[in-house]
Amino acid sequence: MHDDRDEKPAGAHRHRHPHGHGPAPLRVSGLTVRYSDGTAALRDVSIDIKAGEKVALIGANGAGKTSLFLSLVGILRPDAGTIIVGDVPVDKDHLLTVRRKIGLVFQNPDDQLFMPRIYDDIAFGPRNFGHTEAEVREKVEAVLEALGAAHLATRSSLKLSGGEKRVCAIASVLVMQPRLLLFDEPTAFLDMKAKARFMEILGGLGQTRIIATHDPALAAAVSDRVIVLEGGSVTDDGPAAEVLARQKFA
Ligand SMILES: Nc1ncnc2c1ncn2[C@@H]1O[C@H](COP(=O)(O)OP(=O)(O)O)[C@@H](O)[C@H]1O
Ligand SMILES: [Mg+2]
């Protein structure tokens, strides 16, 4: 697959690569995040993710997975450390650019879907980025088609099943064609069938991605690298099979 070594400097020929396998998708160094009540959610976390890597971020409840994702998209501000996405630092001056590059699928689809119709939920991003209504329609229809969810366009998220909501939340992120995808506990609350469908969708995605999960079986099935987070620190990081084996016998 395409990697970043033969990429031109920032900006050159970017249109040829809609998923933009440009400079290393993600560099996190020394990231420390505290909540206002003093809880240290992340302590000195350093992670580099290369173009095309399929990563699972595993860790118990409270390990810091969601805090890491919220930091990566600039919702949480770090107390120390730096985050660079592609060639852009995640800070308040670059939030718009950062959000074109990273797509976060929230743990709870209800945080992502808030319009009266699914169509408008998915159109929300493209409309915000100034596309014409005709371009928006084309993008929304294409992504729904690709995810096998065209029949949901006119429905309200309030009346969808958990699995259907998840697919629509994924569509609302994919429609922006981010180069880095973050999924926060994507299979929580999904039944077997919806989980299988989700894994099938993942199989069709070429983008660099990180999936936060506490399900080692999911991590093993869909990732080639596993990062372990414990109490806000990275305690292991490497090839999926090796890291998962260490986890089991630790
Ligand atoms: N809004 C918040 N205010 C204070 N502490 C929080 C908040 N959200 C999460 N935390 C704490 O931060 C730590 C990391 O939480 P989180 O990132 O949600 O972990 P995970 O997603 O791995 O379950 C936990 O100790 C959690 O209790
Ligand atoms: Mg979480």
224 alpha carbon to ligand 2 midpoint, in Å? 21
- Alpha carbon 153 to its chain's center: 22
What are the C-alpha distances in Å from 97 to residues 73, 85, 161, 166, 218? 10, 9, 33, 25, 31
What is the phi/psi pair of residue 236, to 5°? -160, 155
What pLDDT does residue 132 have? 95
Among 141, 99, 96, smallest CA distance to 123 is for 141
Q: What's the rounded mean pLDDT across residues 191-219? A: 91
Q: What is the pLDDT of residues 164-182, one digit of tens each?
A: 999 999 999 999 999 999 9
Task: Name the helix (H) or strand (E) containing 157.
Answer: none
> Given the CA of residue 60, which atom of ligand 1 is nearest to it?
22
Amino acid 22: pLDDT = 55
- Span from the CA of 147 to the centroid of ligand 1 (angstroms): 31
Q: What is the pLDDT of residues 103-160, one digit of tens each?
A: 999 999 999 999 999 999 999 999 998 899 999 999 999 999 999 999 999 999 999 9
Average the pLDDT over each of 60-64, 112-116, 207-211, 246-250 and give the range with the smallest value: 246-250
- Which residue's alpha carbon is at the smallest distance from atom 16 of ligand 1? 64
Question: What residue has token string 């409270």?
Answer: 62
Predicted structure pTM score = 0.89
Backbone φ and ψ for 127, nearest 5 degrees, come out as: -65, -40
List pLDDT tens digits, range 62-117: 999 999 999 999 999 999 999 999 999 999 999 989 988 999 999 999 999 999 99
Q: Which ligand is nearest to the CA of 71?
A: 1
Nearest partner of 157 among 118, 106, 198, 104, judged by Cα: 118
Tracing tokens 């093993």 back to the chain, one arrives at 220
- Number of Cβ within 10 Å of residue 36's Cβ equals 5
CA-closest candidate to residue 140, choices 104, 175, 100: 175
CA 212 to chain centre: 9
pLDDT tens-digit map of 16-70: 444 444 567 999 999 999 999 999 999 999 999 999 999 999 999 999 999 999 9
* Three-class secondary structure of residue 19 per DSSP: coil
The answer to whether the CB of 207 falls within 8 A of the CB of 105 is no
- 3 and 49 Cβ atoms separated by less than 8 Å: no
Quick check: CB of 60 below 6 Å from ligand 1? Answer: no
Task: Find the ligand nearest to 45 CA.
Answer: 1
Query: Which residue type is seen at 91?
Result: D
Q: What's residue 104's pLDDT?
A: 97
pLDDT, average across residues 188-211: 90
Angstrom CA distances, 63 to 171, 214, 216, 243, stand at: 27, 10, 15, 17
The CA-atom distances, in angstroms, between 248 and each of 43, 55, 70, 241 are 24, 18, 28, 11
- Testing ligand 1's pocket by substitution, the residue of 32, 34, 35, 72 carrying the most ligand atoms inside 8 A of its CB is 35
